[in-house]
Structure 1
């Protein structure tokens, strides 16, 4: 973990010879209590195991790294359905913790240009490449946003700090897309805010950063990170390739929040597309053992971990401060202690990497369960409490919400029926940024519709709610979903559920199931009928808050976050 955490440390002013020096400056007495004791005692270990049991987490791997002394590695549970134990060198998808690597790789490339080590000339409009470089100048002819002002004025710091104004739009890219293609389609995606108006998380901007590295380093983004970060730091097991990780025999499987085993969530192509935003695969030991080398240039320090935008303006938890975001790192205060961290989530995995710059300790927590951010954060806090002796009584484990998630059904009162037959709402719709999608009614007779309906019928078997709801169905092979379920609410309004179907189950359990645990899994579709025909629909609810467009625009087409025209 020392290697990753050093990426974002921004307050040091002198060079250091190895990565643990980049992390911590203060006497290790605060961590070790002068006794050289382990932070994770048998009591805390048993409590963490109870948390895993309660939250149905199959396996967990943790590293606790003091500035001086040896890291602690602890593991619980299994990494495979066959019962292979999780160890300190078990490989996990790190998910969005990978963003710190991307920001550091950009910083390394900037340092190359500053010191004449670059291999590709900058565009004529640029004499230097730094955090204030305009994105349109470094990607001429490719970079363009729908908001012309943001397109012209957004710089590197803006896009890596989530203040470009563009919301996530995570369902706009699919398995076959390339980083360059994803950048080129941004011009067709509606913004949610003005440039620098508000923090709004966006994976796509880190894809753009990875594309910049590929454009100007004369190598792929993944090979650049491997050559300039992984290799010199001795991160011999870390990779972007699920195939390579699988061949080690140490790559953990992943499970849904309810405990269903999942297949590998990324193909090699998908891993390439999301490499900058969430593609690193690593282990606790790879993140915690260092070589005596300096890899991250001083020009990166101070930019990555120091907050540039405000992600949480008011904390509901009295133990936490407001929260800022740098470039690939969140920053807040926990019980008065400065914490720099990032969480990560992809199907089957929940992760957290952190360091406390004033307290000489860093912590990484890897779980092979999806949608487990709450217990992972709770485990992190309990480790920090133990490391710094923050509480007289241990923080208790967090209990999961046991209320069952119910299927979406129409309200019982004030329901307006469909203006047209359900079949009139089926058909193909298109958006330049999202591509085309074809909805099927339950009576759809094409081979495509028969396949889609069959898949949904398999996972809906035995559900009493399914026959009572009016639904449309579609295959939607995106990174975060395989299908869409569209449930009628009232009038021409439907609830859109992005989901992944497994009609044949997976692993030993061949029972069909579906899961929608990552990102925005629901939105609202307002279909528009003109002259007795459906002309399109607008999606709202993806951003998660009311936007100015929704308040000021009169028509569905103009106020929607995404508008799809009906084309067939």
Structure 2
């Protein structure tokens, strides 16, 4: 672990931070029984505050491993919860709440299915409501809304990364234990592991007097060449999928417990958590050198690099990025947190380089992880541009005349409803059709671009937290009756073959 404090490593990390616009970054490593940590840059730019190994970051989806571990505690507790088993159908444990879109999925989906992204349910990330909504969702309402969300594949046939099912897992925990998920984490993980600065949700960190240690998130605005501040937001409707705030000094204690199967992790719990269940990349696309395809276990991904097993999970949310990993054979692991979206690349590069160091790979035999990450990012950008162009061509198949907007925009305005996606109101803003969907958990807006035939549009989604640009674009369509739009279809879920249809109220 001497690498953490070497001058060359520090210089390299700071160069990566500058290149990818990461204001602050912290790293902790564990080797056998020893831990070590270091931090770089700023936890906050205004007012300036240095980043330390005790700075608290939103670790986003890295939280999922603790959710799965929480369920595993119930699985092994045959005295108090004998009915909770990996293979137990969720509908038998939550009969009133866990109902999916059809009987087959309702009866078949098990505990381990929801923790390994193999239920057949796509993400539906834009369906659930956040604190800005008049009636925000919680773990129970998210669970009960599953019945209104269409599935995209049979159970256990395809990998669909689905955040909300980890929130469903927390509803199971709360129903079985009679405790809030936040209290359960405190009692079963944070206190026993002396993770004294770790909380679920930023409000809980502030209640503990930790406000001055909270990192400020940032996103880089390329056009303005400046950072935009992104604060950690309260997200009770997303608990289990993310929303844990912790430091590298705290979180390395959890990684260490996984490595050593130390309380509260036992051999039985560990085996359940790292059991491979779903092939993440069955097409073997963009595989790293010397690296096997990854399988999703339960809140962890498992793969092999140069013949060594690696257990890992990343996290990314507006303004923050994280990764944590360990190599069981080497009794080595690491945690890397940062306060900008650029951490997606930086965390990946540093994790690979630390693993090469731990394995003792000779310098000349190590892949150039910086170049590989740059190539992957460039390929993704090209693919995204090609997909958008292909979408436009698919939608724009009418005559020249049909591309002119004739129907008055007021004919489209009004509130449209879908049982699973709730209400969306179409209004006129800046001379075009617009939807304000900032009541969602992943708040967004939609700006519509007319394509043809008065009914075919492109919908450009803009992330509310980040703003200032298009996050993604997809097809939209309106159906008319008596000169007024009566239905609106949106391709809000790319893994479904059809639109999500909203009916005008």
Counterpart in 2 of 1:219? Answer: 179
SS in 2 for 1:300: helix
1:172 to 120, 127, 137: 127
Higher deviation after alignment, 175-184 or 253-262: 253-262
Residue pairs, 1:515-534, within 5 angstroms = 521-534=472-485
Q: How far 1:426 sits from its partner (Å)?
A: 2.0
Q: How far 1:540 sits from its partner (Å)?
A: 2.1
Q: How far 1:485 sits from its partner (Å)?
A: 2.0
Residue pairs, 1:325-364, within 5 angstroms = 325-364=296-335
Q: Taking structure 1 as the reference length, what is the TM-score of the superposition? A: 0.76
Asked if 2 retains the 8 angstrom alpha-carbon contact of 1:57 and 1:367, the reply is yes
Q: How far 1:60 sits from its partner (Å)?
A: 0.6
Q: 1:377 to 1:396 in 2, by over 3 A?
A: closer
Asked if 2 retains the 8 angstrom alpha-carbon contact of 1:257 and 1:372, the reply is no
CA distance in 2, matches of 1:317, 1:211: 36
Q: How far 1:152 sits from its partner (Å)?
A: 0.8
CA distance in 2, matches of 1:65, 1:489: 55
RMSD over equivalenced CA pairs, Å:
2.7
SS in 1 for 2:442: coil
Residue pairs, 1:43-62, within 5 angstroms = 43-62=8-27
2:436 to 471, 474, 496: 474
2:295 to 324, 340, 359: 324
Instruction: Give yes or no for the alignment of 1:376 onto 2:331.
Output: no
CA distance in 2, matches of 1:378, 1:221: 33
SS in 2 for 1:523: strand
Residue pairs, 1:124-523, within 5 angstroms = 128-175=83-130, 176-246=136-206, 247-248=209-210, 249-258=212-221, 259-267=226-234, 270=235, 272-289=236-253, 294-313=263-282, 314-319=284-289, 320-370=291-341, 372-393=343-364, 395=368, 397-398=370-371, 399=374, 416-418=403-405, 420-442=407-429, 470-491=432-453, 492-501=455-464, 514=468, 521-523=472-474
**1:43-63 C-alpha deviation (Å, 9 max, x unpaired):** 122111101101111111111
Counterpart in 2 of 1:122? Answer: none
Aligned length: 467
Q: 1:232 to 1:435 in 2, by over 3 A?
A: same
Asked if 2 retains the 8 angstrom alpha-carbon contact of 1:164 and 1:195, the reply is yes
Q: How far 1:297 sits from its partner (Å)?
A: 3.6
Which structure has the highest helix share of the two? Answer: 2
SS in 1 for 2:490: strand
CA distance in 2, matches of 1:102, 1:310: 20
CA distance in 2, matches of 1:372, 1:266: 18
Counterpart in 1 of 2:42? Answer: 78
Asked if 1 retains the 8 angstrom alpha-carbon contact of 2:199 and 2:244, the reply is yes
Asked if 2 retains the 8 angstrom alpha-carbon contact of 1:102 and 1:210, the reply is yes
Counterpart in 1 of 2:133? Answer: none
SS in 2 for 1:84: strand
Q: 1:94 to 1:565 in 2, by over 3 A?
A: same
Counterpart in 2 of 1:463? Answer: none
**1:130-153 C-alpha deviation (Å, 9 max, x unpaired):** 111110000011111112201111
CA distance in 1, matches of 2:158, 2:425: 34
Q: How far 1:539 sits from its partner (Å)?
A: 2.2
**1:360-408 C-alpha deviation (Å, 9 max, x unpaired):** 21111111002531222112111212222224246353447598999x9
Asked if 1 retains the 8 angstrom alpha-carbon contact of 2:116 and 2:296, the reply is yes
Asked if 1 retains the 8 angstrom alpha-carbon contact of 2:20 and 2:342, the reply is no
Q: Taking structure 2 as the reference length, what is the TM-score of the superposition? A: 0.85
Q: 1:265 to 1:253 in 2, by over 3 A?
A: same
Unaligned runs of 5+ in 1: 1-31, 119-126, 443-452, 454-466, 506-512, 551-558
Q: How far 1:238 sits from its partner (Å)?
A: 0.3
Q: 1:146 to 1:375 in 2, by over 3 A?
A: same
Q: How far 1:501 sits from its partner (Å)?
A: 4.4
Counterpart in 2 of 1:566? Answer: 504
Asked if 2 retains the 8 angstrom alpha-carbon contact of 1:345 and 1:371, the reply is no
CA distance in 2, matches of 1:74, 1:105: 29
**1:259-278 C-alpha deviation (Å, 9 max, x unpaired):** 533342322xx2x2222111
CA distance in 1, matches of 2:362, 2:417: 56
Counterpart in 2 of 1:5? Answer: none
Asked if 1 retains the 8 angstrom alpha-carbon contact of 2:448 and 2:458, the reply is yes
Q: 1:371 to 1:152 in 2, by over 3 A?
A: farther
SS in 1 for 2:50: coil
Q: How far 1:536 sits from its partner (Å)?
A: 1.1
Which structure has the highest strand share of the two? Answer: 2
Asked if 1 retains the 8 angstrom alpha-carbon contact of 2:57 and 2:247, the reply is yes
SS in 2 for 1:296: coil
Q: 1:325 to 1:167 in 2, by over 3 A?
A: same
